[in-house]
Amino acid sequence: MMNGKYPRHASELADLEKAVEQFVLPGFLPAVPPITASTIVRTQGSCFATHIYNALNAAGVQARHIQFTEAVNSPLANRYLFEYVRSDVTAYAHPAHESIFPEAQLNDLRTRVREEGLFVFTLGLAMCWFDKNSNVPVINPDPKNLQDYEWRIVDAAENEAALVYIVDALRQLNPDIKIVLTVSPVPLNRSPGFESTVAADCISKSTLRVAVHNYLSKNPENVFYWPSFEIVRWLGAHLQPVFGEEDGLLRHVNQSMVDVIAKLFLKHFVVPGPGR
């Protein structure tokens, strides 16, 4: 029986990299690093995916990242993205999607995913904007007509179903691609309909984490989880402030923390080679 333990004393976190490897990473590491010298990696999702992309590039790993609007950071929004990628767009489910998912970007993703070996998908939030009339997830509403839209929590089961769809779509394009799921530690900026954005952020991240856990409990082949959320928001709760060190902004993860996460990801997911 597995018998991990929660850190009991602050001294156990003095060496953060060692603490992450001891208390957070067990159970999440691949038996063999999936990124070799020839692997092209795609990062997608919330703004935290950009940090991983930058770290991979700096380490000499071939990496790609399409910068869709920041609103495309939920499983449901990405499900719509991959519905459009999976087949030629004959009609968008909502007029707002045409500007969010331009055909040129869809074609680029459709073509280049076939060449890629690893897809890193960072989940940002469990909420989504819905059109009140059609009940379609609009993703990025018209700010001048917010009365026409509803900000709604998407439950864990629906988020899990979106993950299933995304992985299936990727595998249809590239049967050999491996996938890393991760939950962004960056908190919500605002939460329409909630008096407390702090509480809304807790609900959102918890919902995403349950969805990922439920999906991974079914043991999908070549799908991994990278616990950046747990490193920042759980271990980080016992450290000096882990947000806003450089600029005072409480939604910016300290670069020192990002560096630890990136270093450990490279250590465990990239096959060592010259210059690494």
Write out the two tokens for 16.
Answer: 């953060």
Q: How far is Cα 223 from Cα 136, in angstroms, rounded to an integer? A: 29
pLDDT digits (tens, 9 = 90+) for 10-49: 999 999 999 999 999 999 999 999 999 999 999 998 777 8
Nearest Cα residue to 260 out of 10, 19, 76, 2: 19
- For residue 31, which amino acid is it? A
- In this prediction, residues 104-128 reach a mean pLDDT of 94
Q: How far is Cα 179 from Cα 101, in angstroms, rounded to an integer? A: 22
Q: How far is Cα 78 from Cα 139, in angstroms, rounded to an integer? A: 10
DSSP 81-138: HHHHHHS--SS-SSHHHHHHS-HHHHHHHHHHGGG-SEEEEEE--SEEEEETTT--B-
Question: Quick one: DSSP state of residue 237?
Answer: G
Domains identified in the chain and CATH numbers: 32-267 (3.40.50.1110)
Write out the two tokens for 42.
Answer: 């795609």
Residue 83 clears pLDDT 90, i.e. is over it: yes
Whether the Cβ atoms of residue 78 and residue 121 lie closer than 8 Å to each other:
yes
Residue 205 clears pLDDT 80, i.e. is over it: yes
How far is CA 43 from each of CA 63, 201, 214, rounded to the nearest angstrom? 7, 23, 22
Residue 78 clears pLDDT 70, i.e. is over it: yes
Residue 32 CB coordination number (10 Å): 7
Q: Taking the chain, what is the end-to-end CA distance rounded to the nearest angstrom?
A: 36
Q: How far is Cα 236 from Cα 246, in angstroms, rounded to an integer? A: 16
How, if at all, do strands 118-123 and 178-183 pair? Answer: parallel
Residue 76 clears pLDDT 60, i.e. is over it: yes
Whether the Cβ atoms of residue 122 and residue 139 lie closer than 8 Å to each other:
no
Query: What is the Cα 92 distance to its own chain's centre?
Result: 24
pLDDT, residue 35, reads: 96
pLDDT digits (tens, 9 = 90+) for 245-265: 888 888 888 999 999 999 999
What is the average pLDDT value for the chain, to the nearest integer?
92
pLDDT, residue 1, reads: 54
φ/ψ of residue 3, rounded to 5 = -145, 65
Whether the Cβ atoms of residue 196 and residue 227 lie closer than 8 Å to each other:
no
How buried is residue 238: exposed, middle or buried, by Cβ count under 10 Å (0-12/13-18/19+)? Answer: middle
Residue 275 clears pLDDT 60, i.e. is over it: no
Q: How far is Cα 218 from Cα 238, in angstroms, rounded to an integer? A: 32
pTM of structure: 0.93
DSSP 158-213: HHHHHHHHHHHHHHHH-TT-EEEEEE--PPPS--TT-S-HHHHHHHHHHHHHHHHH
pLDDT, residue 14, reads: 94
Residue 89 clears pLDDT 80, i.e. is over it: no
Write out the two tokens for 98.
Answer: 């045409």
- In this prediction, residues 92-109 reach a mean pLDDT of 92
